[in-house]
């Protein structure tokens, strides 16, 4: 990023002191200077705390998209999928649910529960696309569905159908979807949890549904705890972000954020040491520290000031909370949070 003035350097330093996140107001910089943060290339000496957020921040498995108006739309795990909005990436408010009248097509997989999991949201061609999971804890009788909306508002979503399901006889688990559109304009859905690991399927770019029966393997821990894939492009690499270890145990959770990268969207993905993610590799980016327990189920997006990592973590009392940090890249191109 271009260096503008010492004022920008000061703003970047202020972000580090504040725990890795800041919103720069219009009066924080000289008129005519861009309100940007210089992206650091040296990781902080220890994991930063989450940036300051307030309002309705009880969130689990957050997915986020920047809206055409410049706001933020977050969808997360909850009954009928919960929605939150923000105008400034700091204050969040409840905005209802995706399916206020319920989603009866999912109950085969949820044992009748309304609780839907781990959505992924994106905006393209004038529509919001929402992939989401239906399952029960510890089971791979699971499904991923697609819904679309012109506005993203509660009750505006249209059910588009089943994208992929897994049965107890399968060696994968169809939860935790994430859409990536590669440089050639091809759409792919990564997903997976435990079992044989993280999978990927090609999608029809127009419909958002599967094109064929192809299932690729892109990461795994020999049946161990790996889930929540998110693929983001930076420079010449695709970065595959995943969560290792145990979620959903409150302050006892051991979730941690890991990453690998590849020059091809389909892999092979390797970590900093060159270990393949299909062989258990992964470079750690964020783990529990102090009163921040089990950070994970991450989403990555590019904002006007930086690339941003959004995730959930657990407070000392076991409550799930929204976490946000900015992302930097070291001299070798590996990401860190600040």
Nearest to 153 by CA among 176, 175, 121, 180: 121
Rounded CA-CA distance 252/318 in Å is: 8
Per the CB < 8 A criterion, the answer to whether 44 and 16 are in contact is yes
Give Cβ neighbours of residue 299 (< 8 Å, ≥ 6 apart). 62, 63, 64, 120, 230, 309, 310, 311
Cα-Cα end-to-end distance for the chain: 16
Long-range contacts, stretch 204-212, CB < 8 angstroms, 24+ apart: 205/181, 207/160, 208/129, 208/131, 208/146, 208/148, 208/160, 208/163, 208/179, 209/146, 209/160, 209/161, 209/163, 210/163, 210/164
If DSSP codes are grouped into helix, strand and coil, which group holds residue 327?
strand
Q: What's the pLDDT at 39?
A: 78
Q: How far is CA 306 from CA 20, 154, 157, 207, 320, in A?
A: 11, 29, 30, 31, 25
Rounded CA-CA distance 34/69 in Å is: 19
- Is this model's pTM higher than 0.85 or not? yes
Nearest to 50 by CA among 8, 15, 95: 15
Catalytic residue among 27, 33, 56, 61: 61
Q: What's the pLDDT at 288?
A: 98
Strand order across the beta sheet in which 91-97 lies: 54-55, 91-97, 82-86, 72-76, 63-66
Active site includes 33?
no
Helix spans in 80-206 (H): 107-110
Active site includes 120?
no
DSSP-derived secondary structure for 32-44 = TS----PPPSS--
Nearest to 179 by CA among 243, 115, 128: 128
Domain architecture of the chain: domains with CATH: 1-38 (no CATH), 47-337 (2.115.10.20)
pLDDT by residue (tens digit) across 119-132? Answer: 999 999 999 999 99
Q: What's the pLDDT at 13?
A: 37
Per the CB < 8 A criterion, the answer to whether 231 and 190 are in contact is yes
Helix spans in the chain (H): 6-17, 107-110
Q: What angle do CA 108, 112, 115 make, to 5 degrees?
A: 100
Q: How many CB atoms lie within 10 A of CB 315?
A: 14
Rounded CA-CA distance 171/280 in Å is: 17
Helix spans in 50-155 (H): 107-110
Q: What's the pLDDT at 38?
A: 65
Q: How many CB atoms lie within 10 A of CB 308?
A: 21
Q: What is the pLDDT along the chain (338 residues), one digit of tens a residue?
A: 332 222 233 333 333 333 333 333 333 333 333 344 567 999 999 999 999 999 999 999 999 999 999 999 999 999 999 999 999 999 999 999 999 999 999 999 999 999 999 999 999 999 999 999 999 999 999 999 999 999 999 999 999 999 999 999 999 999 999 999 999 999 999 999 999 999 999 999 999 999 999 999 999 999 999 999 999 999 999 999 999 999 999 999 999 999 999 999 999 999 999 999 999 999 999 999 999 999 999 999 999 999 999 999 999 999 999 999 999 999 999 999 99
Whether omega before 268 lies within 30 degrees of 0, making that bond cis, reads: yes
pLDDT by residue (tens digit) across 167-201? Answer: 999 999 999 999 999 999 999 999 999 999 999 99
Catalytic residue among 120, 176, 227, 305: 227
């Amino acid at each position: 990023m271009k260096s503008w003035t010492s004022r920008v350097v000061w703003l970047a330093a202020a972000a580090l002191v504040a725990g890795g996140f800041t919103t720069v107001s219009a009066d924080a910089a000289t008129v005519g200077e861009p309100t940007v943060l210089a992206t650091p290339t040296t990781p902080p000496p220890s994991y930063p705390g989450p940036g300051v957020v307030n309002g309705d921040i009880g969130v689990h498995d957050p997915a986020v998209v920047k809206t055409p108006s410049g706001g933020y739309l977050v969808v997360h795990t909850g009954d009928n999928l919960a929605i939150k909005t923000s105008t400034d990436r700091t204050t969040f408010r409840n905005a209802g649910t995706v399916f206020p009248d319920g989603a009866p097509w999912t109950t085969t997989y949820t044992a009748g529960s309304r609780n839907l999991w781990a959505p992924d949201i994106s905006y393209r061609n004038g529509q919001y696309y929402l992939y989401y999971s239906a399952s029960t804890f510890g089971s791979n009788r699971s499904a991923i569905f697609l819904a679309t909306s012109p506005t993203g508002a509660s009750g505006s979503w249209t059910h588009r159908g089943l994208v992929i399901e897994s049965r107890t006889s399968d060696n994968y688990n169809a939860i935790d979807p994430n859409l990536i559109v590669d440089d050639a304009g091809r759409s792919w859905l990564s997903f997976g949890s435990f079992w044989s690991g993280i999978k990927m399927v090609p999608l029809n770019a127009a419909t958002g549904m599967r094109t064929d029966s192809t299932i690729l393997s892109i990461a795994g821990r020999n049946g161990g705890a790996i889930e929540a894939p998110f693929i983001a492009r930076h420079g010449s690499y695709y970065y595959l972000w995943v969560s290792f270890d145990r979620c959903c145990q409150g302050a006892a959770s051991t979730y941690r954020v890991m990453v690998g990268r590849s020059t091809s969207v389909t892999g092979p993905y390797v970590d900093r040491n060159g270990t393949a993610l299909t062989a258990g590799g992964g470079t750690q980016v964020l783990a529990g520290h102090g009163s921040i327990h089990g950070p994970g189920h991450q989403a990555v997006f590019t904002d006007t000031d930086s690339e941003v990592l959004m995730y959930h973590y657990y407070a000392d009392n076991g409550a799930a909370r929204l976490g946000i940090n900015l992302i930097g890249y070291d001299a070798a191109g590996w990401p860190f949070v600040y």
